[in-house]
């Protein structure tokens, strides 16, 4: 039997440590095809390149694995894989990551890692985004490997609901083994921004954006942030349909005609 065709991408760039770990694990399962940004694209969200050209070139970084580095965004990488580089072939799975830093709660909206996975889901391809709750460049990913294998094999064997991508987050490595996997929901939270106002040598103002995560439900345990804190790997099914159906019913009763 032929191996499943797996497209691997990320938002930290093709040279990141996380994507190498993910590629090594996907090699054990299927035929791997890599298209990843040529530079970091963290926080890019679902941006696509529409006002400039996109350049791609083959990369030797992963040896015999077909690999391309792309000047575009993570979502661009998936679009190019589907419609140009693998045109006419059936892609069985898109995986994105492993991201340096978690993409739990509202971070899924801003994440280039998850946007690449969701782009795969939009195209009708089963997709999974993987992130590690450790922002360090030299983060340890080794404890994620068996869980990546388990999740991907389940997705390939059983499929996913149409247009759904999985948002998988791993706790950082610690002296305790991971507690297991929890399928859960996104935490209701937001980022409270703080802008550091500065001036450049010419006196022109500029800003650095910082801030802190605010959990609107700190006592709740049935969400991804709470389960990450309990040392669980979290799995949240995500869909690009942002319609609020409860609000839809209410607003349809308004006098708008």
Cα distances (angstroms) measured from residue 243 to each of 129, 141, 166, 202, 247: 22, 35, 19, 46, 8
Q: Is the pLDDT of residue 168 over 80?
A: yes
Sign of the dihedral defined by the CA atoms of residues 185, 7, 26, 158, in that order? positive
Q: Can you list the alpha helix ranges (DSSP code H) found in the chain?
A: 17-27, 74-80, 107-110, 112-122, 145-158, 224-229, 245-251
Mean of the pLDDT values across residues 58-85? Answer: 97
Reported confidence tier of residue 170, pLDDT bands at 50, 70, 90: very high
- Structural domains in the chain, CATH included, are 5-186+218-251 (3.40.1210.10)
Backbone angles phi, psi at 123, to 5 degrees: -80, 0
Residues 6+ apart with CB under 8 A from 51: none
Reported confidence tier of residue 243, pLDDT bands at 50, 70, 90: very high
pLDDT given for residue 137 in this prediction: 84
pLDDT by residue (tens digit) across 183-232?
999 999 999 999 999 999 999 999 999 889 999 999 999 999 999 999 99
Cβ–Cβ < 8 Å for 94, 125: yes
pLDDT by residue (tens digit) across 117-145?
999 999 999 999 999 999 988 899 999 99
Cβ–Cβ < 8 Å for 130, 148: yes
Is 42 labelled as part of a ligand binding site? yes
Is 215 labelled as part of a ligand binding site? no
Cβ–Cβ < 8 Å for 142, 173: yes
Tell me the C-alpha distance between 117 and 22, whole Å: 14
Reported confidence tier of residue 1, pLDDT bands at 50, 70, 90: low
pLDDT given for residue 87 in this prediction: 96
Tell me the C-alpha distance between 173 and 195, whole Å: 31
Count CA atoms within 13 Å of residue 26 on its CB side: 30
Is 175 labelled as part of a ligand binding site? no
What is the percent of the chain with per-residue pLDDT over 90, rounded to a whole number? 95
DSSP states along 105-128: TTHHHH-HHHHHHHHHHHTT--EE
Mean of per-residue pLDDT scores for the chain: 96
Cβ–Cβ < 8 Å for 236, 215: no
pLDDT given for residue 2 in this prediction: 86
Global pTM? 0.95
Is 16 labelled as part of a ligand binding site? no
Sign of the dihedral defined by the CA atoms of residues 175, 176, 177, 181, in that order? negative
């Amino acid at each position: 039997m032929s191996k499943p065709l797996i497209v691997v991408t990320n938002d930290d760039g093709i040279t990141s440590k996380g994507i190498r770990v993910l590629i090594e694990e996907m090699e054990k399962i299927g035929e791997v095809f890599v298209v990843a940004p040529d530079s970091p694209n963290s926080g890019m969200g679902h941006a696509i390149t529409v006002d400039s050209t996109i350049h791609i070139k083959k990369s030797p970084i992963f040896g015999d694995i077909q690999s391309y580095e792309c000047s575009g965004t993570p979502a661009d990488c998936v679009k190019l894989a589907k419609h140009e580089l693998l045109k006419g072939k059936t892609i069985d799975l898109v995986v994105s990551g492993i991201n340096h830093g978690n993409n739990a709660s509202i971070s899924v909206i801003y994440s280039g890692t998850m946007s690449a996975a969701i782009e795969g889901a939009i195209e009708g391809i089963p997709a999974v985004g993987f992130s590690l709750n450790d922002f360090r460049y030299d983060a340890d990913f080794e404890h994620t490997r068996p869980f990546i294998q388990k999740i991907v094999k389940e997705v390939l064997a059983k499929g996913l609901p149409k247009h759904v991508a999985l948002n998988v987050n791993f706790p950082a490595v610690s002296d305790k083994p991971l507690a297991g996997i929890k399928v859960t929901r996104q935490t209701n939270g937001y980022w409270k921004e703080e802008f550091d106002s500065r001036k450049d040598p010419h006196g022109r103002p500029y800003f650095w954006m910082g801030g802190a995560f605010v959990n609107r439900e700190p006592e709740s345990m049935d969400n991804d942030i709470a389960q990450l804190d309990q040392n669980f790997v979290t799995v949240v099914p995500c869909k690009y349909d942002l319609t609020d159906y409860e609000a839809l019913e209410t607003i349809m009763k308004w006098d708008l005609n």
